[in-house]
């Protein structure tokens, strides 16, 4: 007999239930295939590149097709995916629009490190483009599934963040935290430090001051993490605190960072704000912004509110002060 419910639905708004059920059903099945790893047919095989030039792996395509198929008949009129150049109409009379990064962190597929799925939900717009190219604070729900040691769903419907864990014993996502809040005080930052030489001065200055530890203006030591999987970094920060930065840099093609506004940054920003944190594109609140094209990128900085606003303060400093020796910047002590 096939399973009827994949999530404790009483925590999900009635109109969104078919969609969330479908996401959990596919997430469940993907988590089983991911757990089989090399026993499955080459999930990490390179298939070429998607419309935007990113390498496309077999699991990227499998996940995208599985979500699109499962979401048909659940009220999704417009479906936008990282893996598709254009927006697809699933249910012509559906009331919702759903954007998805079907498989985030694909460089980690072959190395048994956490990967995930990120999604963002809006009321459907009058055209396919208007469904997604709109202020990102018009999202009505956002979340991610993470396929790690546990398969977890983090989701917000605009009234806090809920955490569900998939119980491997019966395959159901069960509520474990009803109102998740980002802890303050963590001393961890996440950034791809190999790009240091390409960053702007404010970003370098912020990281320099973290690296200086107890000998620097922050008077404390920091730890660094970089999983190269946005869902994994987000999950750690929602659970333990800290800050994530994927800034713009001077490499060709990275003028707006690497991450995509519609199906990566906007949903993560909504989750973070709903958990009491902040998310910006450097200085400006991310949720006040909108993408100009479906696959547009944006710099992304998010995490505990105090840390994110501190990065913004470095951007506000006049150029000569950012370049000054960190030890002289009393403003940034503590
Ligand atoms: O390899 P880099 O430049 O550090 O980028 C890592 C980032 O790229 C991503 O893997 C992009 O996501 P996709 O795997 O969906 O393309 C993020 O999850 C991660 O934060
Ligand atoms: Mg991604
Ligand atoms: Mg992806």
Q: Characterize 275-312 residue by residue with b for buried, 16 or more Cβ atoms within 10 angstroms of its Cβ, and e for exposed.
A: bbbbbbbbbebbbebbbeebbebbbbbbbbbebbebbb
- Rounded Cα–Cα distance for residues 194 and 322 (Å): 21
pLDDT of 139 strictly over 80: yes
What residues are neighbours of ligand 2 (ion), with CB under 5 Å?
101, 104
* Residue 101 CA, closest ligand 1 atom number: 15
CA-proximal residue: ligand 1, atom 10 (nearest)? 105
pLDDT of 319 strictly over 70: no
Report yes or no: 147 and 31 within 8 Å, Cβ to Cβ.
yes
- Rounded Cα–Cα distance for residues 62 and 232 (Å): 21
Q: Which residues of the chain are in CATH 3.30.540.10 domains?
A: 9-177
pLDDT, tens digit (0-9, with 9 covering 90-100), for 252-285: 999 999 999 999 999 999 999 999 999 999 999 9
Helix 266-274 and helix 230-240, axial crossing angle in degrees, nearest 10:
10
Which residue intervals of 4-84 are DSSP H helices?
Answer: 17-36, 58-71
Confirm or deny that 192 is annotated as ligand binding: yes
Report yes or no: 137 and 284 within 8 Å, Cβ to Cβ.
no
Percent of the chain with pLDDT over 70: 94
Number of other residues whose CB lies within 10 A of the CB of residue 254? 16
CATH homologous superfamily of domain 9-177? Fructose-1,6-Bisphosphatase, subunit A, domain 1 (3.30.540.10)
Pocket of ligand 1 (CB under 6 A): 54, 82, 101, 104-107, 192, 228-230, 258
Count of alpha carbons within 13 angstroms of residue 261, beta-carbon side: 24
Confirm or deny that 75 is annotated as ligand binding: no
Concatenate the DSSP letters of all residues of 57-75 into one string: EHHHHHHHHHHHHHHTTTT
Backbone φ, ψ for residue 87 (5° rounding): -85, 140
Q: Which residues of the chain are in CATH 3.40.190.80 domains?
A: 188-332
pLDDT confidence of residue 236: 98
CATH of domain 188-332: 3.40.190.80
Residue 254 or residue 48, greater confidence: 254
């Amino acid at each position: 007999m096939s399973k009827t419910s994949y999530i404790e639905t009483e925590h999900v708004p009635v109109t969104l239930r078919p969609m969330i059920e479908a996401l959990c059903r596919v997430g469940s099945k993907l988590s089983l295939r991911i757990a089989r790893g090399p026993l499955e047919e080459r999930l990490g095989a390179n298939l070429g590149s998607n419309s935007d030039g990113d390498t496309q792996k077999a699991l990227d395509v499998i996940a995208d097709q599985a979500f699109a198929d499962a979401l048909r008949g659940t009220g999704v009129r417009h479906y936008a995916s990282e893996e598709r150049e254009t927006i697809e109409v699933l249910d012509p009379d559906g009331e919702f629009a759903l954007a998805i990064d079907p498989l985030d962190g694909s460089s980690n597929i072959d190395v048994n490190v956490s990967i995930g799925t990120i999604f963002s939900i809006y009321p459907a717009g009058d055209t396919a483009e208007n469904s997604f190219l709109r202020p990102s604070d018009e999202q009505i729900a956002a979340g991610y599934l993470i396929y790690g040691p546990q398969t977890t769903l983090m989701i917000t419907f605009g009234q806090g963040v809920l955490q569900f864990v998939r119980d491997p014993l019966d395959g159901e996502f069960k509520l474990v935290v009803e109102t998740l809040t980002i802890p303050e005080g963590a001393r961890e930052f996440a950034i791809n430090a190999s790009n240091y030489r390409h960053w702007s001065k404010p970003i370098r200055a912020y990281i320099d001051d973290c690296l200086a530890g107890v000998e620097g203006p922050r008077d404390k030591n920091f730890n660094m993490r970089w999983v190269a999987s946005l869902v994994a970094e987000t999950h750690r920060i929602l659970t333990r605190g800290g800050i994530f930065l994927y800034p713009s840099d001077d490499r060709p093609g990275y003028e707006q960072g690497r991450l995509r506004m519609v199906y990566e940054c906007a949903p993560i920003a909504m989750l973070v704000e709903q958990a009491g944190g902040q998310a910006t594109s450097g200085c400006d609140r991310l949720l006040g912004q909108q993408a100009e094209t479906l696959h547009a990128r944006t710099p992304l900085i998010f995490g505990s509110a105090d840390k994110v606003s501190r990065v913004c303060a470095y951007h506000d400093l006049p150029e000569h002060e950012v370049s000054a020796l960190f030890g002289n910047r009393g403003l940034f002590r503590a």
